[in-house]
Chain A
Amino acid sequence: MRIVYADNAATTSVSRTALEAMLPYFTEHYGNPSTIYSVGREARRALDTAREKVAKALGTEAKEIYFTGGGTEADNWAIRGTAELRQKKGKHIITTAIEHHAVLHTCKDLEKHGYEVTYLPVDEYGRVTADQLRGAIREDTILVSIMAANNEIGTILPIKELCAIAHEKGVLFHTDAVQAVGHIPLDVKELDVDMLSVSAHKFRGPKGIGALYVRRGLSLPPLLTGGGQESGRRSGTENVAGACGMAAALEESVEHMDENVKKVSAMRDRLIEGLLKIPYSRLTGDPVNRLPGTASFVFEFIEGESMILSLDAAGICASSGSACSSGSLDPSHVLTAIGLPHEVAHGSLRLSINECNTEEDIDYILQTLPPIIQRLRDMSPLWEDYIKKFKA
């Protein structure tokens, strides 16, 4: 059966380049980078090179890049580390209502330990404004953490502008850039952020590795203590193969970014244009400032998980923010934050594509999805009620 993978915001396939960059470090150069003999030195050299490549792709220097076990760890470290570092100044943190759970649940956890968190509301497109942020900053605010781009609706947030507001008031700024890195141009020095989280498997690197950019001079205390790796900031024997794979994937993504953005956003726009022809459908997220690969929708009168199952039977991999997809009775916090009523949010669908997808994939989705939606609506009592009301 034909498989169309359209869930690249969840994870991606590892690129050939990334895989080949990793392989020697499993079997040949398997040494521990902390050792001084040749097998270990080889691993150390590879790790240093990987760090330099990641730094260069983000517009910074190697000494400001720390490898982590992924995006979630990077977010935890940035937030918990800052909370510890600045606790004498205050215990107030500002974030948004649409952050990834890695940020939101970390903030919720800090609330249990005496920290206060402001969750900035967003508009219908998932945007926060500079004025909103300015109004929320207090004397005791120690950190602003706002994502660079949203994983569910693809909205790109104005990080440079928001970061400037935080800095005006002497507040540190962290951005979860997991969905943005490798997909849109991004330079940490231009953004001027203090910390930035990266996850390799979102740009065709391997799972289980990420990085945190920490601006030089910011003495962020470690989250993990132990053998003192990563300049004492992140203990644990380094994932050398992972770092090499991440660096190769990121280098490749940045090198081909212009052409990929062009190709992927054209396919995304075809998806959006084609699927919005379905009655009672809406685009979610910012119509203009959105990730090149994210096409996200709600289809009224039906439920997301049944859409995902039906698409799966046709070989299409996608995701939904419906309650049944999450195992709770509430739909995703992002969809409710942009003001969708629960019953509408249950009908959400996210198609996230990347450069591996083809025009034929798009054609296939465009011809497969509309009859699925019709079939589910024909089964839905809500649709029946609506049609009866409409005819009455």
Chain B
Amino acid sequence: MYSEKVLDHFYNPRNVGELPDANAIGTVGNPRCGDIMKIYMKIEDDIIKDISFKTFGCGAAIATSSMATELVKGKTIQEALSLTNSAVTDALDGLPPQKLHCSVLAEEGIKAAIGDYYRRQGIDPEPIVGCSFDCEACHKEHHEH
């Protein structure tokens, strides 16, 4: 049911772990629903110099986290913000239909981390990032992630 690429990123996840000098951290998902994704970034001069993740979730959640970090590593913030869930899915050679929400989570995780980066600098991220999917930070209700 999973592609070879998904299995590869699940068994050998890239960029897994904490980033001690991260200046942008975003957490999305909900343990009740069975997946939670935390993205750490080190951003310098608008470039994502380093990135890592930690994920509680199924094979697809871990693989999409891994792939998303690979896709935005070394990219500018603008490039990272344009990452879509379908780009992550395509890079993994597809996901089973019931797992597509995992790729949405990866896109949201990247946006949440960038939102945190702006917030730390006293900049309202919403005009730039859009909704950062970090419900605790923006106090607006989200129902369907």
Contacts and interface: CB of A to CB of B under 8 A. Distances in A.
A and B assemble together = yes
Interface of A: 301-306, 309-310, 313, 322-325, 327-329, 331, 341-343, 346, 378-384
Contact of A380 (B10, B55, B58, B60): B55
Interface in B36-63: 36-38, 54-62
A324 B54 contact: no
B55 A381 contact: yes
Nearest to B32: A342
A323 to B, nearest CB: 4
A303 B61 contact: yes
Contact of A381 (B7, B10, B34, B54): B54
Q: Which of A303, A327, A383 has the most CB of B within 10 A?
A: A303
A331 B34 CA distance: 8
Q: Is the interface of B mostly helix, strand, loop or mixed?
A: mixed
6 contacts: A302-B56, A303-B35, A305-B59, A322-B34, A329-B33, A379-B55
Contacts of A382: 31, 36, 56
Contacts of A346: 31, 34
A303 B58 contact: yes
B13 interface: yes
A379 B13 contact: yes
Interface in B53-89: 54-62
A329 B33 CA distance: 5
A380 B54 contact: yes
B33 A303 contact: no
B121 interface: no
Contacts of A303: 34-35, 56-58, 61
Interface in B2-21: 2, 7, 10-11, 13, 16-18
B132 interface: no
B11 A322 contact: no
A376 to B, nearest CB: 8
Nearest to B57: A303
A301 B56 contact: yes
Contacts of B13: 379
Given A379-B13, A382-B36, A322 B58 contact: yes
